[in-house]
Amino acid sequence: MLRYAMLFAALSCASLVQAADDPLTYEGDFSQGVDAALTKGWLQAASSLTIDSLQSVTPAVAGQALASASFDANRLILRYDADKLRSQLTGSGHASWDGLKDPVLIWLADVNSDHIVGGGTDHEFAQALTAASRADHFDLMFPLMDLDDVQAVSPNAVLSHNDEAVINASKRYAPKFLIAGALQQDGDSMTFKWNVYDDGGKSLGNGEQSGDMASVATQAANAMARTLMENVSADSSEAANTTNTNKDQAAVEEPLALGPGNGFVRVMLTGVNNIADLENIRRSLITFGYEASSTTVAWQPEGVIFEVPSSASPAILDGTLAHAPGFAKTGDWIYSYSSSLGTATSGRDGQVGAPSYKSAASSGINQRNKISDKPATSVKVEQAQALPADGELVED
């Protein structure tokens, strides 16, 4: 511990650094010892800058990446330098990646239930994949699956690798990257196959994972992250963990984090079931005194994320949405929207969009489709041959 004494003595004279929701800052109990705090802090900070699995390092190595340290009662607060960490990571053969600043659109076809997962749903695998993706430094957004989406992309379009339909339907969301994937479950086991494209429709890579839900979601998210990392341009990537010691500005700490940011407040609204709801919400924000430039930045299984430009206190927007007619606060920067126009229906078979959604276009999915077993070079999720009675995937 003596070798750190002079460092801590000097740093403790500086202003106290409060540990915010920032992975580059580690706060630990001083009683655990300096060495333990240094190595634990290093592992936390370094893991936020890579999608590789890391092992603990020696206290000496961890100390080389330290930017500052301070004491708060019996708490030891360590701040790590991102550039030094990146240098250590690349020097040891690990890929360094901060993540994407823009969410990735995903068209997820659930073979068993014959539908494409839409934003705001409680689809269990979609939730697991979303959480795993965030751990690998990128966010997923799901399509609204309103009338326009359902008419444009059916589950069969994903299974039969109808790239043109998927790419064209994606344009309304203006993603820089998109994923077309298909999920098939058999009891507690599942198979997930996916393809990644850029905004021009160029295929960037694909993959397949099988197993239980947790392992499939984790492995798929990591593989997707590697594909994105290999193809991302400088303007699509940014440090997901910028330096900020103000807990009230968590929104700039990571992509799509909710809360106040630099000149905006990011909020999530649940209960949005129709594309027209988005315009009505934007008009409501205008009547509340906010700019007309409020935008929808992501559709996630949990809800729709809005970015509201504002130079006023974030508490004003929070209070407004908590009490305004049609809105109610349900969590930190999360509000329910109770004035939705509802989900549009075709009036024919009770499903959204054209009757082909559950009839013509999807009639071959139930017990007659599987996810393609073609080699990865085909970069396709193809319509498959009939499943045998036991439901096993058929080899082509």
Higher pLDDT among residues 290 and 359, named by residue:
290
pLDDT of the residue at 233? 56
Chain centre to alpha carbon of residue 172: 19
Q: Decide which of 29, 59, 91 is a domain's last residue.
A: 91
Q: With bands split at pLDDT 50, 70 and 90, how would you rate the model's confidence at 99?
A: confident
Q: With bands split at pLDDT 50, 70 and 90, how would you rate the model's confidence at 231?
A: confident
Q: Is residue 286 part of a domain?
A: yes
- H or E element that contains 156: helix 155-159
pLDDT of the residue at 333? 94
Distance of alpha carbon 354 from alpha carbon 360, whole angstroms? 10
Rounded to 5 degrees, φ, ψ at 354 are -65, 155
Residues 230 and 268 in one domain: no
**Mean pLDDT within 203-215:** 95
Q: Decide which of 67, 91, 115 is a domain's last residue.
A: 91
**Mean pLDDT within 277-299:** 84
Residues 174 and 201 in one domain: yes
Residues 132 and 223 in one domain: yes
Range of the domain at 191: 104-235+347-378
Q: With bands split at pLDDT 50, 70 and 90, how would you rate the model's confidence at 255?
A: low
For residue 39, the SS3 value is helix
Rounded to 5 degrees, φ, ψ at 374 are -65, 155
pLDDT of the residue at 293? 84
Residues 69 and 123 in one domain: no
Residues 123 and 77 in one domain: no
Q: Is residue 165 part of a domain?
A: yes
Q: Is residue 146 part of a domain?
A: yes
For residue 244, the SS3 value is coil
Q: Is residue 147 part of a domain?
A: yes
Residues 224 and 369 in one domain: yes
pLDDT of the residue at 334? 94
Q: How far is CA 105 from CA 196, 198, 353, in A?
A: 10, 10, 20
pLDDT of the residue at 343? 53
pLDDT tens digit sequence for 176-196: 999 999 999 999 999 999 999
Residues 291 and 329 in one domain: yes
Residues 225 and 373 in one domain: yes
- Look at residue 16 and tell me whether its pLDDT is greater than 50: no
- H or E element that contains 5: helix 2-11
Q: Is residue 97 part of a domain?
A: no
Apex 214 CA angle, 159 and 197, nearest 5? 40
Residues 115 and 228 in one domain: yes
**Mean pLDDT within 263-278:** 86
pLDDT tens digit sequence for 342-355: 654 433 333 333 32
Q: Is residue 280 part of a domain?
A: yes
pLDDT of the residue at 14? 34
Average pLDDT, the chain: 76
Least confident of 60-69, 106-115, 243-252: 243-252
Percent of the chain at pLDDT > 90 equals: 32
pLDDT of the residue at 46? 84
Q: Is residue 390 part of a domain?
A: no
Residues 299 and 195 in one domain: no
Listed residue (382, 282, 13, 75) closest to 396, CA to CA:
382
Number of domains in the chain: 3
Residues 209 and 351 in one domain: yes
Most confident option among 3-7, 40-44, 310-314, 332-336: 332-336
Residues 186 and 52 in one domain: no
pLDDT of the residue at 45? 85
Supply the CATH number for residue 216's domain: 3.40.50
- Look at residue 155 and tell me whether its pLDDT is greater than 70: yes
Amino acid at 295: T
The pTM assigned to this predicted structure is: 0.57
Q: Is residue 396 part of a domain?
A: no
